[in-house]
Amino acid sequence: MPAESTVLRYMTRFRCIAERCEDTCCSGLKVPVSESHWHRMRAAVVGSPEESEHLRQCVTLNPGGASSEHAFVQMRPDGLCPFLDTERLCSLQRRHGDAVLPDICATFPRVVTRRGEQLEVSGTLACPEVARLCLLEEDAVEPVPLATPSPHVSRPETARHIPEDPEDADTFHAETVRTAMLRLLHRREYPLGSRLAMLGQLAYGLDGFSPQETGSPLSEVLQRFEAPDILDAIHRDFAELALPGGPCVGLFTSVLKARMAANRGERFTTWARGMLQSLQLEEGGDSALGAAWQTYAERWHHLETQHGERVHRYFHNYAVHQLWRSPFSDSPSLLAYVFRLAFRVALLRLTLAGHPRVEELCREPSPTHEAREQLDRAAVETFQLVAKHVEQAPDFLSLAEGLVGTGRGEETLGKVLVFATF
């Protein structure tokens, strides 16, 4: 475990850009209101019959729910919060300050995790400004000491606590394993696909450890993944894999269509439709999937040739960020955790290559400054919309869960490799 509380560097640069933001924090979110915040909100508006009535209409009580979900904000049919004013700013915060806001509104887009005595601060890419800062700068995902008091930890009591269960090897040795996984991810002399394959092999090698057995067996496995000949061999074997990508493209197409049908708002729908049109995936069918895979591979080759450093940075930062942000306890096993990472990376690579701006810049014969700016904009939009509307969606999570099965064994490792080949 790090000896001190940390924050990922990009969050030290974060400032909400408010009315200049291309999105609003709350669009598409489910906003629970705790019992104490419900009382605070009501007390704040008590002198204004108009505001009291608005509050009554826009917040639905949740009888029998936990006290943290005493009520929910009733979003408007367009997915926006009913408390946004005409400048798309939060009217509750403007009039009554941060203290009345529900936890999710007061803390978004910060993510605070407590491991033992230490706090780790990162952010969610569902905020476009966080996505920009996290993806585009080379040093963005380095952990740096967290200042105290920190403006990013306004409600420490809401920090997510990661338990260390001595009976469960995955959680008990989580910090040692995460450090080893981060070391592997930083081996940038290998392509990201190979590094994901290495993470998969490492997780597979650690499968089935019990805490009582650990100590030297754990260090032995971890040390094996420091050895250049082992890493070279994984990279070589992985580079030789050639898998038909059509079925995976089909899976992701269904996910995006289901999210569009769930009416996730205009920004998401425009982006998803543009992506499906650009890869000619609107109609589907096996031949369309095969053709889309081919187009994807050609565009990706173009991006790597002309903007390799840039696209590698987006995905490297994304993968490292995931390891800092999402605890292993989110998944049934370490291998399932790596699978989810590979699965998300694959979806993001497909959707970025399908972005209409990327289609356009792939027609440029040589890299230009304007093309790189277009690419950055397409990447921020893609990663942000996927984070906000797809990655946490129940249908996406259950698809990932169904694919991963028990989350253990060779079959799951094989699936990690399939998605890592994207």
The interface region with ligand SF4, picked from 21-29, 56-64, 152-160, 162-170 by CB under 6 A, is 21-29
Q: Which of 4, 13, 21, 411 binds ligand SF4 (CB under 6 A)?
A: 21
- Of the candidates 4, 13, 18, 43, which one interacts with ligand SF4 according to CB under 6 A? 18
Question: What is the number of H-type helices and E-type strands within the chain?
Answer: 19, 8
- Longest CA–CA span in the chain (Å) reads 73
Q: Is residue 334 a contact residue for ligand SF4 (CB under 6 A)?
A: no
Query: What's the rounded Cα separation, in Å, for the pair 99 and 173?
Result: 38
Q: What is the rounded CA–CA span in Å between residue 11 and residue 119?
A: 14
Which of residues 11 and 362 has its CB atom nearest to ligand SF4 in the complex? Answer: 11
Q: Which listed range, 121-129, 270-278, 291-299, 319-327, lies at the site for ligand SF4 (CB under 6 A)?
A: 121-129
Candidate residues 4, 13, 17, 297; the one interacting with ligand SF4 per rule CB under 6 A? 17
The interface with ligand SF4 within residues 128-167 (CB under 6 A) comprises 128-129
For residue 370, the minimal CB distance to ligand SF4 (Å) is 25
Q: Which stretch binds ligand SF4 (CB under 6 A): 12-20, 158-166, 257-265, 325-333?
A: 12-20
Minimum CB separation of residue 14 from ligand SF4 in Å reads 8
Taking alpha carbons only, the member of 396, 414, 412 closest to residue 404 is 412
Size of residue set near ligand SF4 by CB under 6 A:
11
* Span interacting with ligand SF4, options 13-21, 114-122, 219-227, 400-408, rule CB under 6 A: 13-21
Q: Give me the least distance between CB of 21 and ligand SF4, in Å please.
A: 3
227 binds ligand SF4 (CB under 6 A): no
Q: Which is nearer to ligand SF4, 108 or 296 (CB)?
A: 108
Which of 4, 13, 16, 139 is in the footprint of ligand SF4 by CB under 6 A? 16
Quote the least distance from Cβ 332 to ligand SF4, whole Å.
Answer: 31
If you ran DSSP here, which 8-state letter would residue 61 be given?
A: E
3-class SS letters over 89-114:
CEHHHHHHCHHHCCHHHHHCCEEEEE
Nearer to ligand SF4, 51 or 129 (CB): 129
From the list 5, 10, 11, 23, which residue makes contact with ligand SF4 (rule: CB under 6 A)?
23
Q: Which is nearer to ligand SF4, 73 or 413 (CB)?
A: 73
Residues 6+ apart with CB under 8 A from 138: 313
The four Cα atoms 243, 249, 254, 257 give a dihedral, to 10 degrees, of: 170
CB 248 within 8 A of CB 422: yes
Q: Which of residues 73-112 bind ligand SF4 (CB under 6 A)?
A: 109
In the structure encoding, which two tokens stand for residue 248, read together?
A: 């995976």
Nearest approach in angstroms of CB 80 to ligand SF4 is 12
In angstroms, rounded to a whole number, what is the distance separating the alpha carbons of residues 328 and 309?
29
Phi-psi category of 208—alpha, beta or left, where left has phi over 0 and alpha has psi -120 to 50? left
Helix (H, G, I), strand (E, B) or coil at 25: coil
Q: What is the closest distance, in whole angstroms, from the C-beta atom of residue 167 to ligand SF4 in the complex?
A: 39
**Sole window of 22-30, 64-72, 166-174, 286-294 interacting with ligand SF4 (rule: CB under 6 A):** 22-30
Residue 127 contacts ligand SF4 per CB under 6 A: yes
Question: Residue 75 Cβ, how far from ligand SF4 at the closest point, in Å?
Answer: 15
Confirm if 307 and 375 have CB atoms less than 8 A apart: yes
d(CA 87, CA 96): 17
CA angle 233/236/241 to nearest 5° reads 130
What is the DSSP-derived secondary structure letter of residue 231? H
Residue owning tokens 């601060």: 121
Count of CB atoms situated within 10 Å of the CB of 286:
10
Binding positions for ligand SF4, rule: CB under 6 A: 16-18, 21, 23-25, 109, 127-129
